Chains A and B, each alone.
Chain A
Amino acid sequence: MPAIRRRLKTGTGLSWGTSMLFVLPALVLFAVFVLYPLLTALSYSFFSWRGIVRDDFVGLENYVTVFTQLPYKDEVGNAFAHNFLLFIGAMVFQNTIGLLIATLLHRIGRMKRFFQTIYTLPYLVSPLVIGYLWSLMLSPLFGPVNALLKAIGLGDLAQPWLGNPSTAIWVVVLVTAWQWIGFPILMYGAALGGIAEEIDEAASLDGATSWQRFRSITLPLLVPAIGTVSILTFIGAMESFPIPYALGGSTGSPAGATDVMSLLFYRTAFESGSTNAIGVSSAIAMLLFLVIFGVAVLMRWLLDTRERKMF
Chain B
Amino acid sequence: MSRRSRLQSGTPLTRTATQTFLWIYVVVAISPLILMVLNSFRTTSEMAKNPLGLPQNPSFASYEKAWITADFSSYFLNSMFVTITSVIISTAVSLLAAYAFARSRGKFFRALEGLFLSGLMLPVYLAILPIFYLLDSLGLVSNLWGLIMVYSALGIPFSTFVLASFLRQLPPELEEAARIDGAGPFRSFLAVILPLVRPAIATVVVFRFVPIWNDFFYPLILMRNRDAYTLPVGLTRFFGEFQTDWATLFAGLTLATIPLVVLFLLATRQIVSGLTAGMSK
Interface residues of chain A, those whose CB is within 8 Å of chain B, are 9, 11-16, 18-20, 22-23, 25-27, 29-30, 32-38, 40-41, 44, 52, 97, 100-101, 104-105, 107-109, 113, 115-122, 124-129, 132-134, 136-137, 141-144, 146-148, 151, 178, 181-183, 186-187, 190-191, 197, 201, 204, 225, 228, 232, 235, 238-239, 241-242, 245-246, 262, 265-266, 269-270, 278, 281-282, 285-286, 288-289, 292-293, 296-297
CB of B13 within 8 Å of the partner chain: no
Which are the 10 A-B pairs with shortest beta-carbon distances? Answer: A33-B153, A12-B172, A147-B51, A126-B214, A22-B100, A37-B127, A26-B97, A37-B130, A40-B130, A41-B127
Given A34-B124, A121-B29, A197–B253 Cβ distance below 8 Å? no
Task: Classify the secondary structure of B's interface with A.
Answer: helix
Smallest CB gap from A40: residue in B: B130
**A11 contacts B176, C-beta separation under 8 Å:** yes
**A239 contacts B125, C-beta separation under 8 Å:** yes
**A282 contacts B272, C-beta separation under 8 Å:** no
Interface string of B43-71 (1 = CB under 8 A from A): 00001100110000000000000000000
Residues in B whose Cβ lies below 8 Å from that of A129: 214, 232, 235, 253, 256-257
From A19, A25, A125, A126, B104 is in contact (CB under 8 Å) with A19
From B3, B52, B108, A197 is in contact (CB under 8 Å) with B3
CA distance A125 to B251 in the complex (A): 15
Residues in A whose Cβ lies below 8 Å from that of B51: 142-144, 146-147
**A126 contacts B213, C-beta separation under 8 Å:** yes
Interface string of B241-281 (1 = CB under 8 A from A): 00000100110010011001100110010011001101100
**A142 contacts B48, C-beta separation under 8 Å:** yes
Smallest CB gap from A291: residue in B: B123
**A127 contacts B214, C-beta separation under 8 Å:** yes
Smallest CB gap from A107: residue in B: B7
Residues in B whose Cβ lies below 8 Å from that of A122: 29-30, 32-33
CA distance A285 to B123 in the complex (A): 10
**A30 contacts B123, C-beta separation under 8 Å:** no
Residues in A whose Cβ lies below 8 Å from that of B278: 228, 232
**B105 contacts A186, C-beta separation under 8 Å:** no
Smallest CB gap from B184: residue in A: A18
Task: Sample 10 A-B pairs with CB under 8 A, ordered by A number.
Answer: A14-B185, A22-B99, A35-B115, A108-B19, A128-B216, A137-B32, A142-B47, A190-B276, A238-B123, A285-B129
CB of B109 within 8 Å of the partner chain: yes
Residues in A whose Cβ lies below 8 Å from that of B15: 108
CA distance A233 to B116 in the complex (A): 21
**A22 contacts B153, C-beta separation under 8 Å:** no
**A118 contacts B29, C-beta separation under 8 Å:** yes
Given A101-B25, A124-B271, A201-B1, A13–B93 Cβ distance below 8 Å? no
Residues in B whose Cβ lies below 8 Å from that of A286: 126
**A37 contacts B26, C-beta separation under 8 Å:** no
